[in-house]
Structure 1
Amino acid sequence: MAPKTYRRRWDRKNLDHPNLAIYFPLGETPSACTCVDNTCQRFVDLTEQTPGGAKAIATEPFEPGAHCVLKIHNPIDRTWSYFPAEVKWSVPSPSQTNRHISGFAFRAQVPIDWPPQEKADAKRHPTSEDYVFFRNINILKRLDREAICPLLNALVFRQIAAGERFVTQGDAGDSCFIIQKGTCAIVIEKNGDSHAIAVRKKGDIIGEMSLLTGEPRSAHVEAGTDMDVWEISKDDFNTITADYPGLRNFLTEIVAERFATSRMTAERQIGKYLITDIIGRGGFSIVYKGLHRRLNMPVAIKMLNHDMAMDKEFVSNFQKEAITIARFNHDNIIKVYDVEALYQTMFIVMENIDGCTLRQIMNDQGKLPPEQVIHYLQQVCAGLHYAHQHDIIHQDIKPGNLFILPDGRLKILDFGLACPCGAENMMTGTPYYMAPEQVECLPVDERSDIYALGLTAFEMLAGHRPFDEEDPHEAMELHVEHDIPDPAQHIPDLPEGLRKLILKCCARDIAQRYRDIPALLNDLTPLAEKLGVAKLSPVSRRKRMMTLVLLYEDRHQLELNDLMEAFSSEVEQMGITLKAADFSDI
């Protein structure tokens, strides 16, 4: 091994996902080792590597002084290399519970040719060859870096003979299976008859609902050929997701895959609604097209990612604010009809609208003219002022959350991260648009939304963000430590009034910003008039009529009167007029 002073000069590479390694424990005489028991091997998350050693994160500590072999993956050429090593130190992670950081010193500075014979074991864990299979499964591609190794280490191999029934309808759902080889049939038993309804093949997941609902198995599963599958129990999955919240999004991908591939209507139902197609993905959710099943009314359905929806504190806060947000009725805020809880996540049902996001318009047009920017700013201000009057802070104003209708009208989307005014922020939001107080987890108020609106205005005019930093952590640091650059240096012929407005919106010191939306409008409205931007007129609200026919007997009259009186009181609070009329005998 090289001298310590020389090793300090080695270049340390911080490694990005999916770089990982497999830890093989060895005996006291590693040179004599010719066979590896792969039930003892573990995938570890390799975070740093030098010519003389490596640093890795694992769920368990490794004994200092222990000999091992690290089989390290090269994500560039997708090859694996063996490195004999010794554990030099192992300490608990200072920032993550139930995780340990270990340092390894290589006993040879070049990879060795060491292909030991692996013991055959029906209960083995995944190998490097199996990893090639897993990395090509769609639902695993979106997992966070920290979630990959714990999931691989929890999987157990099973071989299933052709004709074997390995899932029985009605049994408790206590595990799910990933098919690596072979096919199987999904069979439903009803009234004594069996009906094959689907075939599953390599890469498919069987019994996934056991992780989502815990309900009894809804069908038999029978092997059509000899099969190799990987099994994970519900208990093991719940244990590792408690320590690795990023793994919860494995459930998000399972549900998304179910919606995308299932032809069965029952598997795409969310309460009163039916999912029909995907609209798009965001950082916190997936949005689908849907229909109200009885009214045949088009809706948009947003499914929150499970890493958020399974956070008890987030769900508690979200449910409180959802009641208020569902009552919003403003032309510049998308309407929320319903909130459904299913599959261990939350589904937000909203009005379905045509158009595109401001982000899409900016991608197509690049820089926007000041008149168009002011037109959009006026509408965002109108919607935010309404929300702020109801004590709700959006917390995630950005081009992707502003939707432009074909007639140029704007609606604010995604109040999923909203919170009460003055609430302590838990670093929620999009890093590139977060106000300094959001980054520092301080209480937020109207001025936090105003900061994000100022950044959005800068980006609309300049064609890029004030801090054009791609790394989210660096971007957040810039918001805290630096004032935004003068927009006039990036935007030729920028009206002076608009320049001052953006700088005041984006002041790092919250006390130097506009105190609220009306104060901002005091500067924006004269600027709009000066540039000839048409004043927004309120949308004329078209009245709709619904007919409800009740067929009843005389004995129901009193109870029906009470029900109608209560119903009338409820709808009057919503500004709806209820008219009732009696008909002669039908």
Structure 2
Amino acid sequence: MDKEMIKNVVPSHTETFCFLIDIDEIEGQTTRIFQHHFCCRFLDSLPQEIAYEFIKKMSLKKFAKGDRIIHQGKKLENFYLILKGICGVNVERADIFYDIDKLGSGEIIGAEALFNEKVSTAHVHAETDVELLCMSGKQFEKLALEMPDLKSFMTSVLVHILSSSKLPDNRMIGKYSVTNEIGHGGAGIVFKGAHSVLNMPVAIKMLTHEMSMDPDFIELFRNEAKTIALMNHPNIVKVYDIEEAYKTIFIIMEYLEGATLDNVLENVEKLSLERIIDITIQVCNGLEYAHNLGIIHQDINPRNIFLQSDGRVKIIDFGLACRRGSVDSNFLFPGSLHYISPEQIQGNPVDERSDIYSLGITVYEMLTGEKPYKVTEGKDILKWHLEEDFDSANIYMENLPVELRNFFMKTIMKEPSERYARVSEILKELDPIAKRLKIERPCFCRQNQMMGMFLVFQEEQQLLLKKYIEEFSRKISETGASLKVMRFED
């Protein structure tokens, strides 16, 4: 065989996101065309024309049965999509080979090359004669600059690796192991995982590559993530750690048992007034804490309010959070349109009152199961937020306690200056009805944390160590913490 090349790619007429790939096989003066029917789930996220061009840019490689395609521990330069045949995956430990998996048409091997991972974690061989579509990691990187939609291919591949790989090393993000996918949104994918040493359950949010490979966005995100990680409040999801791997960022958070408010609203006919007030007060407690730190959530809605099975409420997903007074152009994620404040639409600086507006829309939805407007088109929703006044004679309003009616009408004023200035004013407004319903506002008290360490030294080192400890203590004091030293005899 002198040469083989991909001649043409057209859509399959029988299955969605499957392709008919024409391969030219040139031998001497003779050219033969072979057609392959190829389906690949990793291409589902791509526009069809991008998928065509991507496949056309790949080269065809053939391996005979028994050939080693990828060597464990060796640097990976290429990744492959299996066009035809079966590949076997095995791991070598102490000169013993352990079979791990068998992969067929449409699967990927050598995916580490996509993410600049240096070496393969397993051997891959041809279980049968195989034909593979091949591309180098460097070529893909250049192609993704020309066709940014290819970043979604990276995300699809990585989600598969983290949720399905039979190689434990491939499912590690720093010191955390991924177990399964539990959620999928516009900006990221959420997995359940565990700390590899403590075996503590965690939620791991992975940013999509479209987001993580945007230099402007990622720098803002890193700065905000560091701030959010410092928050410590019972009504805000706790961020434990931030890891960077596979050309994206992972946020390690506490794992919550329960459901988001939007899921609850879809599955119950109506929430009790007591539960609605309780949820609203708990969300207000979390918002008050964040606002006191100068952090504006920017995306309060039922998807980002989590109801735990023990009754506690957590605000989640601070992915769009910003500092008070910021102007953020990244607000139009799916779902946010229904709850967005007029000033966000207009591109004006945001503050506490933007979150208060979104909270008002959310509370109305809890009360009625509906949005406070009847329009459904995006442009009409934006117009309502900007211009349309809510009908205070609405039948739902007439049956509400006066405190709740006042709360709602004031939260959704178009002009920020006419809303509550601070969440503390809302809590004061709702206090009478909370007392009547015997809903207590919990007191959040900051608790001191302690860390222990042991210093083992010889007598002659004591003087120098005392100097170092004094310097260290001064630096600790500058953070507001304190260092306590106790002496023990060995």
Give me the TM-score of the superposition, normalised by structure 1: 0.71
Corresponding residue to 2:355 among 440, 449, 457: 449
| Residue 120 of structure 1 pairs with residue 24 of structure 2 | yes
Using the TM superposition, name which of 180-189 and 336-345 deviates more.
180-189
| Residue 199 of structure 1 pairs with residue 88 of structure 2 | no
- The Cα shift of 1:171 comes to 5.2
CA–CA distance in 1 between the matches of 2:346 and 2:34? 42
Hey, what does 2:282 align to over in structure 1? 379
Cα deviation per residue 1:539-579 (whole Å; 9 max; x = unaligned)? Answer: 57788876655555446656665676677667778887765
Hey, what does 2:400 align to over in structure 1? 494
Question: Which AA in structure 1 matches 2:88?
Answer: A
Q: SS where residue 403 of structure 1 aligns?
A: strand
- The Cα shift of 1:315 comes to 0.9
Hey, what does 1:518 align to over in structure 2? 424
- The Cα shift of 1:397 comes to 1.0
Hey, what does 1:291 align to over in structure 2? 194
Question: Which AA in structure 2 matches 1:354?
Answer: E
Question: Which AA in structure 2 matches 1:458?
Answer: Y
Question: Which AA in structure 1 matches 2:211?
Answer: M
Contact 2:23–2:34, Cα closer than 8 Å, also in 1: no
| Residue 584 of structure 1 pairs with residue 486 of structure 2 | no
CA–CA distance in 2 between the matches of 1:418 and 1:580? 39
Hey, what does 2:344 align to over in structure 1? 438
Hey, what does 1:394 align to over in structure 2? 297
Change in 2 beyond 3 A, CA 1:145/1:525: farther
- The Cα shift of 1:238 comes to 2.1
Counterpart mapping for 1:320-339 below 5 A? 320-339=223-242
| Residue 462 of structure 1 pairs with residue 368 of structure 2 | yes
CA–CA distance in 2 between the matches of 1:434 and 1:147? 33
- The Cα shift of 1:233 comes to 3.0
Cα deviation per residue 1:363-409 (whole Å; 9 max; x = unaligned)? Answer: 23232233322221111112112111211111111112112233322
Contact 2:165–2:171, Cα closer than 8 Å, also in 1: yes
Counterpart mapping for 1:164-243 below 5 A? 164-169=67-72, 172-187=75-90, 193=95, 195-202=97-104, 203-243=106-146
Hey, what does 2:413 align to over in structure 1? 507
Structure 1 gap ranges (5+): 1-36, 44-70, 81-114
Q: SS where residue 287 of structure 1 aligns?
A: strand
CA–CA distance in 2 between the matches of 1:256 and 1:171? 24
CA–CA distance in 2 between the matches of 1:40 and 1:480? 53
Hey, what does 2:154 align to over in structure 1? 251
Change in 2 beyond 3 A, CA 1:187/1:528: closer
Q: SS where residue 37 of structure 2 aligns?
A: helix
CA–CA distance in 2 between the matches of 1:128 and 1:461? 59
Change in 2 beyond 3 A, CA 1:539/1:384: closer
CA–CA distance in 1 between the matches of 2:396 and 2:14? 41
Equivalent pairs counted in the alignment come to 479
Q: SS where residue 378 of structure 1 aligns?
A: helix
Cα deviation per residue 1:223-243 (whole Å; 9 max; x = unaligned)? Answer: 121112222332342234334
Using the TM superposition, name which of 411-420 and 370-379 deviates more.
370-379
User: Identity of counterpart residues, as a percentage?
Assistant: 36
Contact 1:391–1:421, Cα closer than 8 Å, also in 2: yes
Contact 1:431–1:473, Cα closer than 8 Å, also in 2: no
Question: Which AA in structure 2 matches 1:242?
Answer: L
Change in 2 beyond 3 A, CA 1:536/1:584: same
Counterpart mapping for 1:48-447 below 5 A? 120-121=24-25, 130=37, 133-134=39-40, 137=41, 139-143=42-46, 148-169=51-72, 172-187=75-90, 193=95, 195-202=97-104, 203-428=106-331, 429=333, 430-447=336-353
Contact 1:165–1:223, Cα closer than 8 Å, also in 2: yes
CA–CA distance in 2 between the matches of 1:205 and 1:79? 15
CA–CA distance in 2 between the matches of 1:245 and 1:512? 43
Contact 2:69–2:126, Cα closer than 8 Å, also in 1: yes
Contact 2:22–2:35, Cα closer than 8 Å, also in 1: no
CA–CA distance in 2 between the matches of 1:510 and 1:269? 46
Change in 2 beyond 3 A, CA 1:494/1:39: same
CA–CA distance in 1 between the matches of 2:359 and 2:482? 38
Corresponding residue to 1:479 among 351, 373, 385: 385
Hey, what does 1:537 align to over in structure 2? 442
Change in 2 beyond 3 A, CA 1:390/1:156: same
Change in 2 beyond 3 A, CA 1:153/1:496: farther
Change in 2 beyond 3 A, CA 1:483/1:182: farther
CA–CA distance in 2 between the matches of 1:74 and 1:443? 51
Give me the TM-score of the superposition, normalised by structure 2: 0.83
Question: Which AA in structure 1 matches 2:415?
Answer: D
Cα deviation per residue 1:249-284 (whole Å; 9 max; x = unaligned)? Answer: 222222221122223332222222222333322332
- The Cα shift of 1:413 comes to 0.8
Question: Which AA in structure 1 matches 2:313?
Answer: L
Question: Which AA in structure 2 matches 1:212?
Answer: F
Using the TM superposition, name which of 542-551 and 410-419 deviates more.
542-551
Question: Which AA in structure 2 matches 1:488?
Answer: N
| Residue 528 of structure 1 pairs with residue 416 of structure 2 | no
Q: SS where residue 310 of structure 2 aligns?
A: coil
Indicate the RMSD between aligned Cα atoms, in angstroms: 3.8
Question: Which AA in structure 1 matches 2:352?
Answer: E
Question: Which AA in structure 2 matches 1:195?
Answer: F
Contact 1:144–1:247, Cα closer than 8 Å, also in 2: no
Q: SS where residue 130 of structure 1 aligns?
A: strand
Contact 1:176–1:206, Cα closer than 8 Å, also in 2: yes
Change in 2 beyond 3 A, CA 1:198/1:381: same
CA–CA distance in 2 between the matches of 1:464 and 1:545? 47
Contact 1:399–1:456, Cα closer than 8 Å, also in 2: yes
